[in-house]
Amino acid sequence: MTENKKTLIWILIPFIYGLLSNYFMIFIPSLLSQLVFAIFWFWVGIRFSCLKGSSIKWFIVGNSIWLVSFLLYLWQFVALEDEGRNMFLALISQNYMLPFIWSGTRISLLFSNVLDGATITIIAYLTMFAVFTLGFIVGKFKVR
């Protein structure tokens, strides 16, 4: 299997974890999940930065599922009212960032004592993006 195909499989792993966790109701402590996936996602960012070709292309490819999932989440939970949501799309859009829910909760609590699910999820998505981006940048400097 080529390096490019492996990297495409790596970007599916957070989604698969979220899907399996929700479907089988697997409980993994959120801090442990956060630590493992933060290290993994940082590493994936590094790997994507080292691929041959356009850095911009690989950065976009590395965040493609993240972006689709994030936009789907915003559409279902921010743009639509409760009665307008498609339950399948609403549920599937929450799987990708699930490993980062701990950081979403902790960062949200820094700004408010009220836990709002939409805010926590958006922060978790942004944290996930930041970890990948940091890994990508570190990978670029490491290559030089």
Summarised one tens digit per residue, pLDDT across range 67-106 is: 999 999 999 999 988 888 898 998 899 999 999 999 999 9
Rg (alpha carbons) of the chain, rounded to whole number: 16
What is d(CA 119, CA 109) in angstroms, rounded to the nearest whole number?
A: 10
Which residues, 6 or more positions from 54, have their beta carbon under 8 angstroms from its beta carbon? none
- Residues 101-133 have pLDDT tens digits of 999 999 999 998 889 999 999 999 999 999 999
- The count of structural domains within the chain is 1
pTM listed for this prediction: 0.91
- Cα separation, 26 vs 64, whole angstroms: 26
Please report which residue ranges of the chain form alpha helices under DSSP H.
Answer: 3-10, 13-24, 30-49, 55-62, 64-74, 87-92, 101-111, 117-143
Side chain identity at 66, as an amino acid letter?
W
Domain containing residue 96: 3-143
